[in-house]
Amino acid sequence: MARQEKKRDVVIVGLGWTGSILGMELCNEGLDVLALERGEDRDTVPDWKYPNVADELKYGVRYGFMQKPRNSTLTIRRDLSETALPYRHLGSFLPGDGVGGAGMHWNGHTFRPMAEELELRSYVERNFGADIIPDDMTIQDWGVNYAELEPYFDRFEKIAGISGKAGNLNGETVEGGNPFEAPRSSDYPMPPLDQTVDSNKFADAARKMGYHPYPRPAANASRAYTNPYGMQLGPCNFCGFCERYGCLNYSKSSPQTCILDALKRKPNFEYRTNAEVLKVELASDGKTAKGVTYVDANGEEVFQPADLVILAAYQLHNVHLMLLSGIGQPYNPRTGEGVTGKNYAYQTNGGTALFFKDIDFNPFVGAGSNGHVIDDFAINQIDFAAEGFIGGSYISSGTFNGQPIRSMRLPAGTPKWGAGWKSAIKEWYGHSMSIGSHGSNMSYQSNYLDLDPTYKDKHGRPLMRMTFNWKDNDIRMTQFMKGRIEELAKSMNPDIMQSGYKSKGAMYDVRPYQTTHNVGGAIMGSEPNKSALNRYLQSWDVHNVFVMGASAFPQNIQYNPTGTVGALAYWAVDAIRKDYLPNPRPLV
Amino acid sequence: MSEANFKLNRRSFLQAGAVGTMLSAGYSANAFAQSETPHLSDYQPEYFTADEWKFIVAATDRLIPAEGDGPGALDAHVPIFIDRQMAGDFGNAADWYMEGPHDPDAPAELGYQSPLTPAEAYRAGIAELNALCQTEHGAVFAELDKQTKDAVLAALDAGEIKLSSTQGADLFDLLLQNTKEGYFADPMYGGNHEMAAWNHIGFPGARASFREWVGVEKPYPLGPVDISGKRG
């Protein structure tokens, strides 16, 4: 029999970016808020202070700040006929755990999506016709448009403290920014970061090609900054230990640097760590949740009653909890019916390396969000009918780190070991750069999430099962980007150039790191039979459960997800405050 | 940044940059204490048996040989690093999901599926490889000449030698990955002795403060520091 704790107004599952945002905004509303975090408590000091955090082996290679598969993982297969096997150690993607979630170890690329991406199916049908959408492609509109979300993007950028350069201020094009972005109501709160050698060379070459480079919007502070919650950031020192690390310098936007110290001072906020939620407990009619059951640090089961349940865990864990709790009908890939687990998508990336034997790039001089970007081949710049694919990419260059175990780029054909390898690392370390494409990934009927029939977690619950593979549409898109990037790279006259892009027949490989931009599975939309959540991130079926995060994306955008995740959290909590709390009910 | 600014800033950077930021960021006095790093020949392995240790020393010596410019794996104490890793969390797969059923014949793209921990895979794989060398070449790996050692490693790398005892774990991949880790990781883990590998390539280690160097296209002049505060 589970121990029962005192009832709260709100219980939040997970204390990363969205849990912290919801916590702050609902505490400001006067509610009694409890956050349950499955991992450890964490803060800048002592967890990522200098010099201890500058440890590539512990954090970069052994994933010191990441989820431990022994405690939490999933199984993966590429199609319905394959037997899914456990993701036994981390590779392709790196979910966080602990206070701050993945928001403490990200690089900080903070984009807004294109307006067209939020209404993708309608945009494609309107401009190119429904018949260009492949039969198995299940892309949808989000149920919310850019104009509605704009104030919430603006809010998140000011809370997180983003450094960047607007390209479209209220419809006016601004030189030096992204001319293809949707209109912004205000500029970024800080000017862009200074840029490294590779980033500047890329921008020069792109301008010569007639493209429109702009500095990457960065959750790395370019100046001293105080946000609306009174939290302070200091200017980034380009330490070269950003992604996979906590920021030793209070420069990277994270729940810790932007929200948590202010939130922890509120008397109506409490958080418990090492508190892993097993299940959302539903009322007997299944229309509301009564609270959640979690396991505390001593291994004891606890029932935590609450009036409002916010799932603010990582995308994968939100969907897992919904499947385990019976929230929404599980998706069936054979019939296309059901919603929970539907439309899992990833990110379609590629890159070209350029070697210059006479240029000193000093790659250890790096910031997580360093770089210039072009959107000349972005989703709203491509004729899908003419090119034969739906999607787009941003193209960028800029060093994040020069850590030698992981970031030792060598020309193809270099021996992997022996005297040849040893001389090559001296010859080439610091003498290369790369240009990457970061692309959309569409959703498909056979890419989805459900419960695994075989493997269990340490609590005896079924692991979640991911079924995912690359599809021809997205491979055509990335091959198109390869052509554009290679033209650009050649114009820079490198001594050696080599490319890595997925080609036809590519099978999903869980081993090399690709990106922690897992999306979908609890998607938002405007029809209850096609999405798990309504436009306010509210469960269609269980109205006092709201589900934050990239699990709401119906397909993946061409950008890094956090800017959109942050904006959706502010959008949803505004609806909760203004509309739901006065009259709790399905909002749509 | 202009050349003039660069020179101006450079002086203050040299004075305050490396040491100054360390002291201001909560650097503890005992972190300066020298860690006891035994010489390779005096080292008593924690995990490997005497025969296994001979293999590790001999194999890493071929993966990163002493010949040519820069330290070899033995100069960098890579075997000490690997032994300590095997005795610790990595060797024991402490963070990994190891529940069955296991399918060692699974497609490689689905990742590590062996029931063995890395430490167990080393143990089984070294024994099998040594037995194979004994049969094929009349001696265990460590006693072969350089050319034969290289040929054996190349065959293992290429999959021409298949080890069944590791049950799907790839001994060569583990060994090469751990060798490079030991070469480049902070010296506190036993390898990268005296930061020799960082010096070899020009990586400044744990300095982690480069504000004045953003966009500067010339060689960085300072040598590495490690996490204990020692300068290379």
ipTM value for the complex: 0.96
Residue B8 lies in a domain: no
| Percent of chain A predicted with pLDDT > 90 | 100
The answer to whether residues A349 and A514 touch, using CB atoms and an 8 Å cutoff, is yes
Closest CB from B27, B111, B203 relative to A91: B111
Check if A238 contacts B (Cβ < 8 Å): yes
A contacts of B153 (beta carbons < 8 Å)? 417
- The total domain count for chain B is 1
Q: Is B30's pLDDT higher than 50?
A: no
> Tokens standing for A554?
């119906």
The model scores a pTM over 0.80: yes
Q: Is B155's pLDDT higher than 90?
A: yes
B contacts of A197 (beta carbons < 8 Å)? 215-217
B contacts of A511 (beta carbons < 8 Å)? 108-109, 111
Higher local confidence (pLDDT), A138 or B21: A138
A contacts of B26 (beta carbons < 8 Å)? 45, 49-50
- The residue behind tokens 């202010």 is A262
For residue range A465-477, list pLDDT tens digits in order.
999 999 999 999 9
Phi–psi pair at A172, nearest 5 degrees: -95, 125
Interval B50-55 mean pLDDT? 98
Residue A101 lies in a domain: yes
**Whole-angstrom Cα distance, residue A410 to residue A427?**
9
Q: Is A213's pLDDT higher than 90?
A: yes
Give the CA distances from residue A34 to residues A9, A103, A313, A442, in Å, rounded to whole numbers and listed in that order.
Answer: 8, 20, 14, 36
The answer to whether residues A507 and A469 touch, using CB atoms and an 8 Å cutoff, is yes
What does the CA dihedral A108, A112, A114, A115 come to, rounded to 10 degrees? 160
State the residue range of the domain holding A470.
3-580
**Whole-angstrom Cα distance, residue A85 to residue B102?**
8
CA distance A428 to chain B (A): 9
> Tokens standing for A367?
């910031």
- Contact at CB, A417 and B95, closer than 8 angstroms: no
Report the candidate in A240, A245, A196, A191 with the shortest Cα–Cα distance to residue A218.
A191
DSSP B216: -
- Contact at CB, A70 and B219, closer than 8 angstroms: no
Closest CB from A55, A73, A511 relative to B109: A511
- The residue behind tokens 């020179």 is B7
Check if B111 contacts A (Cβ < 8 Å): yes
> Tokens standing for A317?
């864990």
State the residue range of the domain holding B92.
48-203
A contacts of B69 (beta carbons < 8 Å)? 422-423, 426
**Whole-angstrom Cα distance, residue A293 to residue A305?**
8
Report cis status (omega within 30 of 0) of the bond before B101.
yes
> Tokens standing for A101?
């979630």
In chain A, the residue whose alpha carbon lies closest to the alpha carbon of B105 is A85
Q: Which residues pair with A36 in a beta bridge?
A: A13, A272
DSSP A499: E
Closest CB from A62, A85, A416 relative to B103: A85
Closest CB from B185, B197, B213 relative to A57: B185
DSSP B136: H
Q: Which residue of A422, A432, A463 is the best one to mutate when testing the B interface, meaning the one whose CB has the most B CBs within 10 A?
A: A422
Q: Are strands A393-397 and A432-439 parallel, antiparallel or unpaired?
A: antiparallel
Q: Is B50's pLDDT higher than 50?
A: yes
- Contact at CB, A197 and B216, closer than 8 angstroms: yes
Interval B157-171 mean pLDDT? 97
- Contact at CB, B186 and A57, closer than 8 angstroms: yes
Interval B153-172 mean pLDDT? 97
Report the candidate in A534, A528, A544 with the shortest Cα–Cα distance to residue A583.
A544
**Whole-angstrom Cα distance, residue B32 to residue B14?**
20
**Whole-angstrom Cα distance, residue A14 to residue A38?**
7
Residue A395 lies in a domain: yes
Cβ under 8 Å to A: B residues 118-147: none
> Tokens standing for A430?
């610091």
- Contact at CB, A362 and B176, closer than 8 angstroms: no
Cβ under 8 Å to B: A residues 351-370: 359-362, 364-365
For residue range A530-585, list pLDDT tens digits in order.
999 999 999 999 999 999 999 999 999 999 999 999 999 999 999 999 999 999 99
pLDDT number for residue B36: 55
Check if A235 contacts B (Cβ < 8 Å): yes
In chain A, the residue whose alpha carbon lies closest to the alpha carbon of B222 is A362
**Whole-angstrom Cα distance, residue A544 to residue B165?**
54
Closest CB from A362, A509, A510 relative to B220: A362
Q: State the CB neighbour count (10 A cutoff) for residue A172.
A: 9
**Whole-angstrom Cα distance, residue A303 to residue A296?**
10
Report the candidate in A442, A427, A512 with the shortest Cα–Cα distance to residue A477.
A442
Averaged pLDDT score across all residues of chain A: 98
Interval A221-239 mean pLDDT? 98
Residue B22 lies in a domain: no
- Contact at CB, A194 and B215, closer than 8 angstroms: yes
The answer to whether residues A156 and A567 touch, using CB atoms and an 8 Å cutoff, is yes
**Whole-angstrom Cα distance, residue A376 to residue A359?**
27
Q: Is A68's pLDDT higher than 70?
A: yes
Domain of A99: which CATH number? 3.50.50.60
Q: Which residue of A362, A427, A511 is the best one to mutate when testing the B interface, meaning the one whose CB has the most B CBs within 10 A?
A: A362
Interval A15-37 mean pLDDT? 98
Q: Is B128's pLDDT higher than 60?
A: yes
The answer to whether residues A144 and A237 touch, using CB atoms and an 8 Å cutoff, is no
Interval A110-120 mean pLDDT? 98
Interval A4-9 mean pLDDT? 98
In which band, very low, low, confident or very high, does the pLDDT at B87 lie, cut at 50, 70 and 90? very high
Q: Is B18's pLDDT higher than 50?
A: no
In which band, very low, low, confident or very high, does the pLDDT at A98 lie, cut at 50, 70 and 90? very high
pLDDT number for residue B11: 37
pLDDT number for residue B104: 85
pLDDT number for residue B37: 61
pLDDT number for residue B19: 40
- The total domain count for chain A is 1
A contacts of B25 (beta carbons < 8 Å)? 49-51, 248
Q: Which residue of A88, A432, A463, A509 is the best one to mutate when testing the B interface, meaning the one whose CB has the most B CBs within 10 A?
A: A88
pLDDT number for residue B2: 38
Q: Which residues pair with A533 in a beta bridge?
A: A524, A539
pLDDT number for residue B23: 40
Cβ under 8 Å to A: B residues 66-85: 67-70, 72
* A317 is annotated as an active-site residue: no
- Contact at CB, A430 and B202, closer than 8 angstroms: yes
**Whole-angstrom Cα distance, residue B132 to residue A251?**
55
CA distance B35 to chain A (A): 15
Interval A122-141 mean pLDDT? 98
pLDDT number for residue A205: 98
Q: Is B20's pLDDT higher than 80?
A: no
In chain A, the residue whose alpha carbon lies closest to the alpha carbon of B66 is A419
DSSP B133: H
pLDDT number for residue A1: 67
pLDDT number for residue B57: 98
Higher local confidence (pLDDT), B40 or B2: B40
- The residue behind tokens 């599975």 is A521
- Distance from CA of residue A264 to its chain's centroid? 25
pLDDT number for residue B26: 40
Check if B112 contacts A (Cβ < 8 Å): yes
In chain A, the residue whose alpha carbon lies closest to the alpha carbon of B18 is A51
Task: Return the axis-axis angle of helices B50-63 and B118-137, rounded to nearest 10°.
Answer: 80
Interval A131-138 mean pLDDT? 98
For residue range A301-356, list pLDDT tens digits in order.
999 999 999 999 999 999 999 999 999 999 999 999 999 999 999 999 999 999 99
Averaged pLDDT score across all residues of chain B: 88
Interval B150-170 mean pLDDT? 97
For residue range A282-308, list pLDDT tens digits in order.
999 999 999 999 999 999 999 999 999
Q: Is B29's pLDDT higher than 50?
A: no
pLDDT number for residue B39: 85
A contacts of B106 (beta carbons < 8 Å)? 85
A contacts of B197 (beta carbons < 8 Å)? 404
Q: Is B150's pLDDT higher than 70?
A: yes
